[in-house]
Amino acid sequence: MYKSYRFRLYPTTNQIELIHKTFGCTRVVYNHYLEKQKALYDEGKDSLSCFDMIKDLKNLQVERPYLKEVDSCSLRCSLFNLDDAFKRWYKGQGEYPKFKGKYNSKRSYRTNCISSTYKDKTYQSIEVDLKRHIIKLPKLKEVSIKGYRDLEYLPGRIINATIEQASTLKYYVSVLVEEDDVYTKLKPRKIIGIDLGIKDIVITSDNEKIGNPRLIEKYEKRIKRCSRELSRRVKGSNNYNKTKKKLAVLHQKLKNARRYFIHQITKKLVIENDIIVTESLKLKDMIEEKRLSKQLTNVSLGELCRVLEYKAKIYGKKYIKIDSYYPSSQECSRCGYKNEKVKDLSVRSWICPECGSYHDRDYNASYNIMFEGLKKYMMELK
């Protein structure tokens, strides 16, 4: 399984110069061979294979010595890209490859990770040291990086790295890693049922309730205040623009905080459990209560389920969604008695008239979700 890790890159002035030189050189190589292929095509001759181009690249490097100053692997990758573009065109899946302009092409280059052995020691052209926050890249040598603070090392084999300058002018590197499929065989030992809510986002059958962290509430309050402020300002005035900018920053901060929160809880749930069960979202139920429906848009429960699903896949765990019409909160998790009175959302706890057990509304729902998921899992095994 392949996974990509994206780091912010902090190159020195010299490294920045070399990065931009590499952007330029990969573009020159791409355009040079595109022109060659075009001429061959126009003359009705066979096109060059990828291998031919790479062989010929050495001649071009002699002709234009500045190409030797940059990572030669990045030049070969540029030819792979050109070859892919032609292959797509042959298959009718893409346009005829275009020349790359200095200003209208992406500022990025890719380089593959190559292993070499010297005196019984293996070296790799790309290495990531998360303890020292450094990436080793061909020609650039060591560059400082930021990101993935909770990882000690990249799990798996590095395939390649793509260095880019984003439109914000910041530098990034994406490292593609092939992970070992060590988790393929699931031996389920622990199952968890999760009831998704609004005030408490996650209510588990392990009797745990997780609400929105304070930070998110803080940003939500500030956004409310700031948008009121904006409505008082005169459109187009200096103060209006200032407040508008402030509001945009707050929205971005809220988005980041929410994303971090979702990753944090989903990771914990997936690592600690083997089978994770949720309901498919019961939006109807929630909208019944109007006071809550306003906040509904604020909580990205859908996003939470999506992350839970792919994280379960990565860790080789099982994620089960059960149907939302299943009356999880109305059924007694002990004896199965269905209590219609609990339909009313204001009933927070109840005692089962059949077996006398006490139920917290939310926990009872999460137990039922767990049992229903277990049933579904057993059915799939048959």
Which residues participate in catalysis according to the annotation? 195, 279, 362
Beta strand 275-279 with 191-196 is parallel
Taking the complex as a whole, how short is the minimal distance between the CB of residue 194 and Zn ion, in angstroms? 22
CB 351, min distance to Zn ion, A: 9
Residue (302 or 336) nearer to Zn ion, CB: 336
The nearer residue to Zn ion, 7 or 371, going by C-beta atoms, is 371
Between 246 and 334, whose beta carbon lies closer to Zn ion?
334
Q: Is 114 or 351 the residue whose CB approaches Zn ion more closely?
A: 351
Residue 301 CB, nearest approach to Zn ion (Å): 29
As a dihedral over the C-alpha atoms of residue 132, residue 136, residue 141, residue 146, rounded to 10 degrees, the angle is -50
Helix/strand/coil (H/E/C) assignment for every residue in 112-179:
ECCEEEECCEEEECCEEECCCCEEEECCCEEEEEECCCCCCCCCCEEEEEEEEECCCCCEEEEEEEEC
| Residues contributing to the site for Zn ion (CB under 5 A) | 332, 334-335, 337, 352, 354-355
**Cβ pair 322, 373 in contact under 8 A:** yes
Q: Under 8 Å CB-to-CB from 156, ≥6 apart: which residues? A: 3, 177, 178, 179, 180
77 within 8 A of 70, measured Cβ to Cβ: no
Q: Are 139 and 71 in contact (CB under 8 A)?
A: yes
> Shortest approach of Zn ion to residue 276 CB, angstroms?
26
Residues 250, 242: contact at Cβ < 8 Å? no
Q: Which is nearer to Zn ion, 165 or 328 (CB)?
A: 328
Q: What is the CA radius of gyration of the chain?
A: 28
Cα 181 to the chain's mean position, in Å? 19
**Shortest Å, Cβ 339 to Zn ion:** 8
Distance CA 92, CA 85 (A): 11
CB of residue 335 vs Zn ion: minimum separation in angstroms? Answer: 3
Q: How far apart are CA 75 and CA 112, in angstroms?
A: 11
Give dist(CA 157, CA 183) in Å, integer: 16
User: What is the number of helices (H) and of strands (E) in the chain?
Assistant: 9, 16
Q: Which is nearer to Zn ion, 259 or 343 (CB)?
A: 343
